[in-house]
Structure 1
Amino acid sequence: MKISRELKTGIVAVGVIALFIWGYNFLKGMNLFDGPLKTYYTEYNNVQGLNTSSEVTINGVVVGKVISINFNQNPNKKGQLIVEFSIENDFEFSKNSIAKIYSASLMGGKSLAIVPSYEGEIAKPGDFIAGEIESDIFSTVTEKLNPLQAKVENVIVSADSLMTGLTDVLDVKSRNNLKSTIAQLNETVANFKQISESVNNLVKTNDEKLSKTLTNTEVLTKNLSMLSDSLVNADIGKTIKNLETSIASLSSIINNIEEGNGTMGKLLYDEQMYTNLTNASKELEELMREIKEHPKRFVHFSIFGKKDKGYQPPSSEVKE
């Protein structure tokens, strides 16, 4: 049986179309010869460069491919991305597993790794798996360098402002004043050094005297300590009690005097006694004056034993 050219051409065309369809689906991660695929879904805010046909691995073994990446049509999740991926073998894992995007190479290619969990309900095709993104070395370095870069920029700006301020402040006059101040400071340091050397020499010269002074101070301190102990051991309470008794007696005497009791009180407050003493004083004064003026009236003596005639008033008094 001869096959016509048209039939051959049709068979080749169908083969090419079938091969094209198989290749297209293979590039999308679906192998038509493996039978029906188990597909799962996960969500991300950013897929970090993950694309369709990226490998899906479990424990480092390639088990599937990323089929599609589409925006979520839910208005409440606008902007989020839904990733559909396939698993080509019968490996089972629970819904608590994690779909993690990671860097497959240093060139920046991304892959999807299933971190399996075996606790809980087994995931079925069409279920959603929680998604995570693993930081690669470049993103980690970038995250670390971004704050450092901001700090360096702030430091540079601050340093520039500082240098500008110093340039404005340190004009020619200010620089000359600063030089003069530094020179004076050097001179002050030199003087302080001389004073320090003088003090050292003074201490060395009077070392023996200082030692004697410290020894005497120590002895004096010991004596004061002994005196303090003696005062503590002395019967101070008895002395204070006797002093209080004496003060009370003196206060009683003063009160009696103020009240006019006793000789001293009567002498101070009895007007009659004061009058009598005043009169007696006056009479004594008159008597003394009379004795001085007329001693013969009061004293009679004779060397030759002349008889004392007794007191005779003067002629003036007789006539009277």
Structure 2
Amino acid sequence: MDLTYKQEIGVGALVLMGLAVFTVGLFWLTGRSIKSTGVKADVVFSNVSGLKQGDPVMVSGVKKGRVQSVKLQRVGRVEVVLELASDVKPRVDASASVGSTDFFGARFVDFSPGDDQKPYLQDGHAIVGTTPPALMDVATGVATRANELIGNASGIVNQQLAEDIHNTLVATQRGLNVLTEAGSGSMIRQTTATLASVERVMARIDTILGNGKRIDSLGANITDLTNELSHATASLNGLLAKVNKGEGTLGRLASDSTLYNDLHKTLNALTDLLTDLKERPGRYVHVKVF
């Protein structure tokens, strides 16, 4: 009988010890303390982004408390009670925000007790907390902006620029046909100036399409390019009008083979550029998101 009684006492002691170890372990895992020696602070958030009871409270990267409770008062207002160490008691300018410790959703409260020269926060007064945008929200915004930029760039390059280059090619072809038949001293000078203008247009096209400028400056460059193309077309139309009036002599133009060759090379270069732009626009427009 005595042996049975002793066994029962031993079993009871083991059970009590097991319960004590379990309780201590539970408090340790949840970050709680058996005896609370800290202070409490009420914080109001509009969105806590998954913050829950037991999450740590960090002050300058050092754990100084834990989240005691999270309660939804109404839509857009969440009351969070923080249990803080006594050396970080909140002052009237204290602040708090919800942060993320990793990419898996673990949350914490980044707490600042405020200026040491300011008075302590009175009981019953809540701190207004902030919640920075989540990583997924930022990524979604960036992707939307990138799609808008790509669409705008594609519309500008494929429509307006192609039409301007085509108009220039037509005017250049007409001028080349006329210059093979008639010319004069003043016409040669005007043709030389027109050729230089067309070459500047080609240089501007190479600059816009080849150097990967930012999309927000592409519109201004296209406007300048259109003005240059309009000027070149007007010059060629004036040249054709002079030829129709019979001004100049055929001999002086026919003897100037260098002018003909330069204009012919320019026409070929513009034709190749338009063909390559229509077939492979991706080689000339590059969009970078920073």
Q: TM-score, normalised by structure 2?
A: 0.49
Which structure is larger by alpha-carbon Rg, 1 or 2?
1
Q: TM-score, normalised by structure 1?
A: 0.45
Q: Which has the higher contact order (CA 8 A, sep 6+)?
A: 2
